[in-house]
Structure 1
Amino acid sequence: MNYYAVRLPILDEEKSQVYREEHLNYLAALADQGNIFTYGRFTDGSGGLVIYKAKDLDEATSLAKKDPYVTSGARDFVINEWAMNTDVLSR
């Protein structure tokens, strides 16, 4: 599995509030399937970040595009493969 960082900048604040529960349920379901490493919001209110676990960029992009935040137009997404530095975790 590879890791993909998906930034979700806000496009529409009102829609973001409306679709928040659906978004969190979507992430919970993917976490149960093993496709989420972690996620969280930015404290400045600009959006959030999801770290997906996927076999390749196409799979991660497909998962990100199905997020209710994205499908509703509440958020955009920017995706990059992420090389997690595991050396830091062992210190």
Structure 2
Amino acid sequence: MKLFAALLPMKDQELSQKHRPAHLEFLQKHHKEGNIAAYGRFEDGAGGLVIYRTETYEQAEELVKQDPFVMEGARDYDIHEWNMVSDNWS
């Protein structure tokens, strides 16, 4: 499996607030299924970051496009394959 960092920059604050519950449900579901390694918001309100665990960029993008924030126009997205370096990663 590869890791893909999906940056989700803020596009519309009101839409983000409105669709936050569905977005969090989406993240929790895919985290439990193993498709998401980590996720969180930026403290400055600029958006958030989701680390997807998939075989290909296309699979990661397919998941990103299913995120309610992206589907409803609350956030843009930018995806990069990510090579995490950590002594704790297995």
Paired residue for 1:68? 68
Q: TM-score, normalising length from structure 1?
A: 0.94
Residue 77 of structure 2 aligns with an amino acid whose one-letter code is F
Instruction: For 1:68 and 1:77, locate their aligned partners in 2 and report how far apart those are by CA, in whole Å.
Output: 12
Instruction: For 2:42 and 2:71, locate their aligned partners in 1 and report how far apart those are by CA, in whole Å.
Output: 20
Instruction: For 1:85 and 1:22, locate their aligned partners in 2 and report how far apart those are by CA, in whole Å.
Output: 31
Structure 1 gaps of 5+ residues are none
Map 1:15-34 onto structure 2 (within 5 A). Answer: 15-34=15-34
Q: TM-score, normalising length from structure 2?
A: 0.95
Structure 2 gaps of 5+ residues are none
CA RMSD of aligned residues (A): 1.1
| Aligned sequence identity (%) | 47
Map 1:6-85 onto structure 2 (within 5 A). Answer: 6-85=6-85
State how many pairs are aligned. Answer: 89
Provide runs of 4+ in structure 1 moved above 6 Å.
none
